[in-house]
């Protein structure tokens, strides 16, 4: 079985209380990744960790160098990528503090460098993206959750918006009509770049707020940050259960 890589999202620039065995900046043909690539150890297993927003959460979603991040993981032999994402809940069963392992994506982003095959070197590839989130890796993540006695929402569609602003209520109504259960800003082009590099890719999304118009009042950063902190232990437990079983 190949190496596991975890891409940390909002609230996860590191994994507390896990041994850091090595850290390095990885040079890629696409520039520098968001941060140092960490080699972590848990339960006798080594795995990689890369915070997509940088060590100090300084890189907004639309400005992330997704190509460099994915390439850095691929260059270190990672075959399985679990990406963390703080998201808004749209569906009634995807409310705050819910952990979700979605199985579909809808991409609403624009202007992001979304392929390694941009024609610059005369090479073009069209990858199949019918199932954008690798079924086998999703099942392993769900099995780890079950083994840890954790209730995780299986399935659902993640709508990927441009950011960094949050959405309007009308935009959320549109996403809901399109079939989205969750809304976030980072799953694309990360997922398709992983597919182009032949990596398995799954999302562990944790809901930190109701999406715009789904609850009374405005979405506040104070509420989001409080729910991030409340999700942190469950996310860490699930990731370490997956590592131990990898």
Mean pLDDT of the 126-139 span: 97
Spatial distance between the Cα atoms of 174 and 6, rounded to a whole number of angstroms: 31
Query: Among 177, 201, 174, 173, which Cα is nearest to 187's?
Result: 201
| pLDDT for 1 beyond 70 | no
CATH number at residue 154: 3.40.50.1580
pTM: 0.94
Over the Cα atoms of the chain, what is R_g?
17
210 is in an annotated binding site: yes
Domain holding 221, by residue range, is: 3-118+125-245
Mean pLDDT of the 44-53 span: 93
Domains identified in the chain, total number: 1
53 is in an annotated binding site: yes
Q: What pLDDT band is residue 9 in, cutting at 50, 70 and 90?
A: confident
Mean pLDDT of the 148-155 span: 96
185 is in an annotated binding site: yes
Spatial distance between the Cα atoms of 77 and 183, rounded to a whole number of angstroms: 30
Distances in whole angstroms, Cα of residue 141 to Cα of each of 5, 52, 154, 183: 13, 20, 10, 20
- pLDDT given at position 118: 82
Mean pLDDT of the 147-173 span: 97
125 is in an annotated binding site: no
211 is in an annotated binding site: yes
Round the average pLDDT of the chain to a whole number and report it.
94
57 is in an annotated binding site: no
| pLDDT for 196 beyond 90 | yes
| pLDDT for 12 beyond 80 | no
| pLDDT for 14 beyond 80 | no
Spatial distance between the Cα atoms of 188 and 170, rounded to a whole number of angstroms: 22
pLDDT digits (tens, 9 = 90+) for 199-208: 999 999 999 9
236 is in an annotated binding site: no
Spatial distance between the Cα atoms of 73 and 41, rounded to a whole number of angstroms: 16
pLDDT digits (tens, 9 = 90+) for 207-241: 999 999 999 889 899 999 999 999 999 999 999 99
110 is in an annotated binding site: no
């Amino acid at each position: 079985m190949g190496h596991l890589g975890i891409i940390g999202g909002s609230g996860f620039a590191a994994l507390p209380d896990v041994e850091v065995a090595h850290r390095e900046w990885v040079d890629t043909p696409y520039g520098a990744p968001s941060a140092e690539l960490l080699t972590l150890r848990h339960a006798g297993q080594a795995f990689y960790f890369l915070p997509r927003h940088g060590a100090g959460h300084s890189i907004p979603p639309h400005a992330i160098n997704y190509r460099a991040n994915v390439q850095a993981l691929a260059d270190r032999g990672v075959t399985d990528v679990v990406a963390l994402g703080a998201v808004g809940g749209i569906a009634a069963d995807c409310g705050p503090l819910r952990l979700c392992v979605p199985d579909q994506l809808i991409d609403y982003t624009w202007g992001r460098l979304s392929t390694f095959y941009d024609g610059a070197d005369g090479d073009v590839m069209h990858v199949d993206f019918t199932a954008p989130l690798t079924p086998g890796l999703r099942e392993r993540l769900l099995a780890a959750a079950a083994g840890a006695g954790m209730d995780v929402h299986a399935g659902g569609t993640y709508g990927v918006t441009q950011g960094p602003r949050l959405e309007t209520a009308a935009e959320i109504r549109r996403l809901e009509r399109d079939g989205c259960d969750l809304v976030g800003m980072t799953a694309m082009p990360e997922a398709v770049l992983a597919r182009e590099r032949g990596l398995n890719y799954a999302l562990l999304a944790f809901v930190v707020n109701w999406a715009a118009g789904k609850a009374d009042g405005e979405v506040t950063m104070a509420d989001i940050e409080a729910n991030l902190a409340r999700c942190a232990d469950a996310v860490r437990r699930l990731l370490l259960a997956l590592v131990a079983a990898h």
